[in-house]
Structure 1
Amino acid sequence: MTSQLTLDGGNIPRLPSFQMGSSFYRVLLLVGFCAPMFCMSSSNPYNRESPHPPSMKSNPASQVSPSNTKFAFLLYQRLAQESPGQNILFSPVSISTSLAMLSLGARSATKTQILRSLGFNLTIMREPTIHLGFEHLVRSLNECHKGRELRMGSVLFIKKELQLQAKFLDRVKKLYGTKVFSEDFSNAVAAQAQINSYVERETKGKVVGVIQDLDSQTAMVLVNHIFFKANWTQPFSAANTNKSFPFLLSKGTTVHVPMMHQTELFAFGVDRELGCSVLQMDYRGDAVAFFVLPGKGKMRQLEKSLSAGRLRKWSRSLQKRWIKVFIPKISISASYNLETILPQMGIRDAFNSNADFSGITKTHFLQVSKAAHKAVLDVSEEGTEAAATTTTKLIVRSRDTPSSIIAFNQPFLILLIDKITESILFLGKVENPRKM
């Protein structure tokens, strides 16, 4: 990625700490505007008989992967609690990257709260190791992979008069590949239009109008965007799609949705402890999707049990078998105001008067006023486009016939994972495939 810095360093006097309240500005943190999509294709770069991802031990990104996964599931559980019966969709890797990058400019308790809430034990892992891991993660995700398109990037829009710390600028550019632009927030309408245009362009038109009612008090807008598009190794045939297939909602009512289906060799297993079935479908370009179907009345139990250890068990225990799969075509989106959720997860000071972002600038008091996230997901015959130790074992039921049937015709979870970094690119729950 390239970085661009066009800052107009105004002549702002450095204020003593007791005057900072009179020089207050808001930081608008826009995290993870995503556009994922499910697509079609051929041939897996890995042995098709082995659904397990390659070893990550030598990859620095593996240092941050377990913490990112832990944060992903904790955030999911919060969102599920806040939005019962609703579709859920977000990009954990995008949100984690945004917050880790923000921590570069945080100091004292503000920094500690961010990193601990991201799942890092600071007595075991030093801060430089964390940022080195994210540097390799961002670099790996943006490398070219045949058969998929994945692009994640960060950009800072900075108030023209704001004098930034040179060290902060150097580190966000070097470690996170961040682009930096000077912005005139006094003209809030024009600034809003420019930032919305940038996000729309970077997500190829999938995410539109992300900022509404931009405040002229804003001093900095941080945007992290991610775009994913890949082809299935085993595509569905559009000719076989049932145009009106019943899908049972959690409330007991039924909607009719287009349902794709095919019979193929897929990695599959049953988690008896949680009462759910797990299906893995591969993309070209080192990415996989997990579809997790809980038994009737088992969704809450499944959601509460999500963990890095559980995901690791699924990844290692699935077995290839011939199976007939029914998956609905999906076009869903979700938006979140994370400034109401992140404080519940321990990131408190960043959003109040205790905020310490003196690593970004010492001339103004900065406080995060908004942390917004939006994701869009399309699943079709062609593929996808967007955006604890346990003894549980997954088994393949011996009573199944060679061509078993699994139909995702009721609420289910979906995880989209990058194999190389073992990062959850997108995580969601499909409660209603027809609801955007």
Structure 2
Amino acid sequence: MTTALIPNGAFLNAELDFGLSMLRQVPVTQQLVVSPISVIFALAMVQAGARGKTKMQIDQAISRGAADGAVVDYYSKLSRAIMTSNNGTQARIANGFFIDKRFNISNEYANTVSSMYSAKIESLDFTQPEQAAKTIENFVSQVTSGKLQNIANADTVKDAFAVLINAIYFNAEWEYKFLKGSSSNRTFNTTNNTGRLIEFVNESDEERLYAEDQDMQLLSLRYKDPSYALNIFLPKNRFAIEQLREKLDGAYIQHMFSQLNMTSLRISIPKIKIETDFRLEEALMAMNVSEMFNDSADLTGITDSLRLKVSSATHKAIIEVDEDGTTAAAVTLFKLIPRFAPPESISIPKIKIETDFRLEEALMAMNVSEMFNDSADLTGITDSLRLKVSSATHKAIIEEQIYTTLPSRYNDSCKRR
């Protein structure tokens, strides 16, 4: 699906190239649905707090190295544009930053993600991980109309500084619906030797947007809100999807879009419902977005009281296509942790110790012996008697109550317990 609401060719090229790079991380025979724009928005929120090499890698991936202000301006406008769909199309995008209530983020970062990306910033009690995870789950469920679940659990928030989320939802009817009785069962072949029987929806002699060249056919099926369309790329040579996937890039796709014309066609597309989990961390590292996962990550724009990194990245997406239209949803989650996770606590047990100390022997061993001898001179106390110290006694007691603390490097960010 594409949106034409923000006509910026450079950024659109970057988005398309980013999505193609994601697709190239899995074999063409593997069923897959991903939402590059969801991943990009999540990365844009990390980028807002990234510095140095960490920021540079994200910039290169999502904007081909555009200026910082241009990145924020473009994606903030795109976010607002997605939310202004028309003609019954439902398009929602939401960003969330859920932080352990013991910590704080910088005011500048909070202002950027809340004002530019409309992010919800919420402090949660991560020491109650099940409840915190439930809050995050509810956020995703509300945005995606319950299409995506089981995104966050207790392990998601355990030892986390924060959990950063993007969720996106799309539901739209075709501009021209397929007839209900038009469906038929046909074999869908993925290779010469592999195929399965699935249901197709069909139309004959209908005019739709279409383009082709020597390598592929492009069919663009618009929704009632014409800003959106489902674009289907089909290789001219059967089973040459891998070769086409390698050849495609943002500029090539945009060129094909410019060639679309209304053409009388016989259309047959599969009815589908696909939900997949994507190994996002591995994919991003292969796409040279690796620094944010390393101990050398620089996310000091988020907070300067802790050194953070992204410890895990999750992406899940679903798409359903039938005679009436399309429903799709996606979620991207980044877990941020301190590079050295704080221990849960340091506890000192309650103690009570009382001892007698053999002080005379200790003092004599420490060369304080003369005052114990007959030659001792204590005439400053009295000159009417000759004095000496005959014995020395020492007794001590200590009582210590239980207390809990965190290492000093966390004290600025954590409330004392």
- Do they fold alike, i.e. is TM over 0.5? yes
Give the structure 1 partner of residue 51 of structure 2: 107
1:233–1:284 contact (8 Å) kept in structure 2: yes
Amino acid aligned to 2:61: S
2:231 is the counterpart of 1:281: no
Q: Which residue does the alignment assign to 1:172?
A: 113
- Structure 2: which amino acid aligns with 1:296? R
Aligned pairs for 1:360-379 (under 5 A) are 360-379=302-321
The answer to whether structure 1 residue 76 and structure 2 residue 41 are counterparts is no
Task: Provide Cα deviations, 1:337-385, integer angstroms capped at 9, x if missing partner.
Answer: 3111211211222101001111111122211011111110000001001
CA contact (8 A) 1:64 1:134 kept: no
RMSD value over aligned CA atoms? 2.2
Using the alignment, how far apart are the partners of 2:300 and 2:194 within structure 1? Answer: 53
Distance 2:3 2:273 in 1: 28
Task: Indicate the residue corresponding to 2:338 in structure 1.
Answer: none
Identify which of 119, 141, 144 aligns with 1:200.
Answer: 141
Find the residue that maps to 1:90 and give its secondary structure.
Answer: coil
Query: Distance between the aligned counterparts of 2:132 and 2:21, measured in 1?
Result: 34
Task: For residue 205 of structure 1, report the CA deviation from its aligned partner.
Answer: 0.9
Residue in 1 that maps onto 2:180: 238
Is 1:248 matched up with 2:189? yes
**Compared with structure 1, are the counterparts of its residues 337 and 191 closer, same or farther at alpha carbon in structure 2 (3 Å cutoff)?**
farther
State the alpha-carbon separation in 1 of the partners of residues 278 and 303 from structure 2: 28
Partners of 1:340 and 1:127 in 2: CA distance: 26
Deviation at 1:53, TM superposition (A): 8.8
**Pick aligned residue for 2:249 from 297, 307, 322:** 307
- Structure 1 contact 162–363 (Cα < 8 Å) conserved: no
Q: CA deviation at 1:63?
A: 5.8
Separation in 1, partners of 2:149, 2:231:
28
Q: Distance in 2 between matches of 1:109 and 1:142?
A: 32
Alignment of 1:379-390 (within 5 A): 379-387=321-329
Q: Which secondary structure state, in structure 1, belongs to the residue aligned with residue 64 of structure 2?
A: coil
Q: Give the counterpart of 2:100 among 142, 159, 166.
A: 159
Alpha-carbon distance, 1:325 to partner? 0.7
Q: Deviations over 1:28-67 (max 9, x none)?
A: xxxxxxxx9xxxxxxxxxxxxxxx997x7xx586563332
Q: Is residue 2:26 matched to residue 1:86?
A: no
Letter of the aligned partner of 1:375 in structure 2? A
The one-letter code matched in structure 1 to 2:267 is V
Pairing 1:335–2:277 present:
yes
Q: Check the 8 A contact 2:320/2:328 in 1, yes or no.
A: yes
Greater shift after overlay, 112-121 or 152-161?
A: 112-121
Secondary structure in 2 matching 1:343 = helix
Task: Render the CA deviation track for 1:208-237: whole Å, top value 9, x for unaligned.
Answer: 111243252011111101100111111011
Please name the residue that 2:210 is paired with. 268
Contact 1:60-1:133 at 8 Å conserved across structures? no
Q: Tell me the alpha carbon deviations over residues 105-146 of structure 1, each in whole angstroms, 9 at most, x when there is no partner.
A: 11111111111122423xxx3211211111111111111412
Match of 1:356 among 298, 302, 305: 298
3-state DSSP class of the match of 1:248?
A: strand
Offset of residue 203 of structure 1: 0.4
Partners of 1:195 and 1:110 lie apart in 2 by 26
Measure the CA separation in 1 of the matches of 2:72 and 2:172: 28
Q: CA 1:370–1:147 in 2, change beyond 3 Å: closer, same or farther?
A: same
Residue 299 of structure 1, CA deviation: 0.9
1:251, distance to aligned residue in structure 2 (A) = 5.7
Question: Which 5+ residue runs of structure 1 have no aligned equivalent?
Answer: 1-35, 37-51, 388-424, 427-436
**Residues 335 and 251 of structure 1: is their aligned pair in 2 closer, same or farther, counting only changes over 3 Å?**
farther
CA distance in structure 2 between the aligned counterparts of 1:265 and 1:114, rounded to whole angstroms:
41
Name the TM-score, length of structure 1 as normaliser.
Answer: 0.71
Give the 3 Å change call, closer, same or farther, for CA 144–320 of structure 1 in structure 2.
Answer: closer
In structure 2, the CA distance between the partners of 1:141 and 1:61, relative to structure 1 (3 Å rule), is farther
Would you say the 8 A contact 1:236–1:260 is kept in 2? yes
Whether the aligned pair in 2 keeps the contact of 1:61 and 1:136 (CA below 8 Å) is: no
1:382–1:352 distance in 2 versus 1, CA, 3 Å: same
Are the aligned partners of 1:183 and 1:191 in contact in 2 as well (CA < 8 Å)?
yes
Q: Answer with 1 or 2: which has the greater Rg.
A: 2
Residues 380-405 of structure 1: per-residue CA shift (max 9 Å, x gap)? 00100112xxxxxxxxxxxxxxxxxx
Q: 1:154 to 1:215 in 2, by over 3 A?
A: closer
The count of residues paired between Structure 1 and Structure 2 equals 327
Q: Return closer, same or farther for 1:305/1:136 CA change in 2, 3 Å cut-off.
A: same
| Helix, strand or coil at the partner of 1:114 | helix
* Contact in 1 for aligned 2:144/2:167 (Cα 8 Å): yes
For residue 414 of structure 1, what is the aligned residue in structure 2?
A: none
The CA distance in 1 between the partners of 2:253 and 2:28, in whole Å, is 23
> Match for residue 167 of structure 2?
225
Which of 65, 84, 90 is equivalent to 2:12?
Answer: 65
Q: Bigger relative contact order, structure 1 or 2, given CA contacts below 8 A and separation 6+?
A: 1
Following superposition, the deviation at residue 151 of structure 1 comes to 0.7
SS at the partner of 1:249? strand
Per the TM alignment, residue 249 of structure 1 is displaced from its structure 2 partner at its CA by 2.6
SS in 1 for 2:202: strand
- Match for 1:138 among 79, 85, 90? 79
d(CA) in 1 for partners of 2:253 and 2:303? 40
2:250 counterpart letter in structure 1: A
Letter in 2 for 1:74: S
SS in 2 for 1:381: coil
Look up the SS of the partner of 2:92 in the other structure: strand
Contact 2:141 2:147 in 1 (8 A): yes
Shift in Å, 1:283: 0.7
Residue 340 of structure 2 corresponds to which residue in structure 1?
Answer: none
Secondary structure of the residue that 2:44 maps to in structure 1? Answer: helix
**Normalization by structure 2: what TM-score?**
0.74
